[in-house]
Structure 1
Amino acid sequence: MMGRLSVAATALFIAVSAPGAHSAERVFPDIAETAKADPQTVDFFRAYFTAKSQHDVNATMSFFSPQLLTYTDAILGWPLNDFNALKAVFAQYMPKWGKGKSYPFRIIGGPDSAVVAFIDTPELFGGEIRLLGAVDFKDGKIIRWADYWDSTGFPADVYNAVRTPSDKFPTEFREKEISGNAAARIIDVATDVQKALTSSDGADIGKHLSADVIYEDFALRTQLLGKDATTRYLQRIQSEAPFAKGSQLMHIVGGEKGGGFEWRSADGKIRGITALELDDQGLVSRITTTYDGRLISAPTHRELVRLSAEE
């Protein structure tokens, strides 16, 4: 798998960057944090986002398996459940993107599955979006991709017009159709962390964290620094956070250095993802979670933000 992914990524990067086809200059800011990623997976995503940012439909689709299970926007409820459906969407929208770019700012895991954090500039879909994607590979190609992002800063009129109605919103994103793609280490850590988050008091969460862990919630725009502060915060929000008490583990992706898990809230209304980066001892050095903050009531949103401050 690793060799095939590396060869595919290298060949495709050369193809999309070759003189005569596209400019060899980098087409997006090279800001991605990649310390917790497999180098071949980094090459793959750089090549993929180069093709996407150049609005090249065929080059972009060359990174996807013909047996694609799904490319799902988990926030809008858009499951594109085969190769041709995804290609049709790219063919429809890419010519309208103008100077729009899509590029990674953090890559975690690999080589068989990964979390990629990336930015879609406003030209693509009407507003700047910062996403976490859970990605599975098979035979060097993308077989499943699920995107998660917070819509609270996205134009409300666009969101309301394109989001799948609640009564028709999908509850699963074909995660049951792929297994064995995550490394044993991240499976163990993700399972333990998710279990600790769902327990009655969150007492066990601290034992999984490094002393200098960074915790960030994209939906709440909050950040905590250090094991003690993060542990206390996660214990305080047990009864309020959608990823905490009663939530369900849906899917795990990643490698030896990190990855993440997709989850569903106890009431089934919110889907989200929590990315985990691991240190050399297997402790969590960074937690990044995101979900659609619009689905949380205003009082709950304010309370979760308030609880991020020590009193």
Structure 2
Amino acid sequence: MNDKGKTAGAVSRRGILRGVAVGGGAVAAAALLPAGAAHADDRGPAGGGTVRQVPGVHTVIDTSHATDEAARIFSAYFRTKSAKDYEGISTFFSKQNANYLDAILGWPFYGWQAIHDLFAQYMPRWPKDGTSSPVRILGDATSAVVFFTNTTGLFGPSEMRAAGVVNFQRGKIARWVDYWDGRHFGTDNLDAERLPADQFPTDWMESTVGETASPVIRKVSEQLSAALRAGEGERAAALFASDAVFEDMTAHLQILGPRSIGAYLTTASDVLPYTGKGTRVRHVVGSARGGGYEWAAAGPVPRGLHTLELDAQGRITRLTAVWDGTLVDDETLMTMARRAIEH
């Protein structure tokens, strides 16, 4: 399908979406982003500092693994988004190559016009006090992950806590894919909006931006994915720093230290959606300080996200797994929790 056909199709399907708009949107600060921005591959403290409080954004943002430039971009974007300025946001998408996809709903929006029309239709309906705010930023102005919270009423009767995977080209947003847990949003709310599985995109448009992440995080992502694919928890644990944190947002689990992380990844390898044969890296974003990788799997949960924070030696200090918990039953989630019990 050519770009014109893709855009037209996305616009015509937009009406079916009803209450769900772009979760992550885009970057509304292209003026802050020079074309050809370089990777932040130095290993010192993140340029963005530890936290950032931005006028117009009510949350305190963790920028400890983001560059100053990335922190400015996302702060400006979410300030603009919370102001419901759809024209302001739309101008910062690439008109030549912009794609937004929601990995949980299965909704693709191909091209600048489709994304603009989506914002234009839904932003005026948002509650006056509704906000969308960044919580944590990982990466640089080439590619990054941003965790954010949408308050109740923006995308339905529940709040949404999501992570957006973002690629930039020539100072503009080129690809944005959102990941979040449908159970937190509410199963009934999700079912009302989600496409049938056989209508989900088969192309997640990573080829339109290429693999431009830092070689450091690409290497760590591939090594971790290979260990998880082989079901070798101890091998995976060797990639973590001594005080590392492993957290699975969907399973509501937090595990501390390589020994416990390795034990859990071994004992739970038969139930975790991101371990075993058929799992692979789809796309990597970020800098030597942090970012993450989208993963694909052959099981009941076909896609998800691992975000990674790295230390100066390239070891993982924090991993956060984000995937759709509605694709597994309650017993599977309880089994994951039981496998985390130490004896």
TM over 0.5: yes
TM-score, with structure 2 as normaliser: 0.82
CA distance in 2, matches of 1:155, 1:256: 35
What is the match of residue 149 of structure 1? 180
Structure 1: segments with no counterpart, 5+ residues:
12-24
Would the aligned equivalents of 2:211 and 2:283 in 1 still touch at CA under 8 Å? no
For residues 155 and 207 of structure 1, do their structure 2 counterparts lie closer, same or farther at Cα, with a shift above 3 Å needed? Answer: closer
Matches of 1:162 and 1:128 in 2, distance apart?
15
Instruction: Please say if residues 97 and 111 of structure 2, whose CA atoms lie closer than 8 Å, have aligned partners that are also in contact.
Output: yes
What is the correspondence of 1:279-290 to structure 2 with a 5 Å cutoff? 279-290=311-322
Contact between 1:270 and 1:291, CA under 8 Å: does it hold in 2?
A: no
Contact kept, 8 Å, 1:248 with 1:265, in 2: the verdict is yes
Q: How does 1:193-208 map to 2 (within 5 A)?
A: 193-208=224-239
- 2:214 and 2:286 in contact (8 A); partners too: yes
Contact kept in structure 1, 2:97 and 2:208, CA below 8 Å: no
1:256 corresponds to which of 285, 288, 291: 288
Distance 1:202 1:230 in 2: 8
Distance 1:7 1:84, change over 3 A: closer
Aligned match of 1:166: 197
Cα separation, 1, equivalents of 2:110 and 2:300: 21
Cα distance between partner residues in 1 of 2:256 and 2:264: 11
SS in 2 for 1:204: helix
Does residue 103 of structure 1 match 2:133?
yes
Q: How far 1:271 moved relative to its partner?
A: 1.2
Q: Could you give the per-residue CA deviations for residues 48-92 of structure 1, whole angstroms, max 9, x where no partner exists?
A: 101101000011112211123411110000111111111111111
1:152, 1:177 → 2: CA distance? Answer: 31
TM-score, normalised relative to structure 1: 0.90
Q: Alpha-carbon deviations, 1:27-59, whole Å to 9, x = none?
A: 222311111111101100000101101000011
Separation (CA, whole Å) in 2 of partners of 1:110 and 1:125: 28
User: In 2, Cα distance between the equivalents of 1:67 and 1:235?
Assistant: 45
CA distance in 2, matches of 1:68, 1:104: 24
> Using the alignment, how far apart are the partners of 2:264 and 2:281 within structure 1?
21
1:58 corresponds in structure 2 to 87
Aligned-residue CA RMSD (Å):
1.8
Output one character per residue of 1:164-187: Cα deviation in whole Å (capped at 9) or x when no partner.
Answer: 012212233111222132011111
1:6–1:146: structure 2 CA closer, same or farther, 3 Å change rule? closer
Shift of 1:269: 4.4
Runs of 4 or more above 3 Å deviation = none
Is the Cα–Cα contact under 8 Å of residues 70 and 173 in structure 1 kept in the other structure?
no
1:185-264 paired onto structure 2 within 5 Å: 185-246=216-277, 247-264=279-296
The partner residue of 2:149 within 114, 119, 122 is 119
SS of structure 1 residue aligned to 2:318: strand
The 2-side partners of 1:277 and 1:269 are apart by 24
Kindly provide the amino acid, as one letter, of the partner of residue 62 in structure 1. Answer: T
Aligned to 2:333: 301
CA distance in 2, matches of 1:284, 1:145: 24
Q: Give yes or no for contact 1:70–1:145 (8 Å, CA) kept in 2.
A: yes
Deviations 1:215-253 (A, max 9, x none): 111111111112211121112211111111121210000
Please give the secondary structure, in 2, of the residue aligned with 1:179.
coil
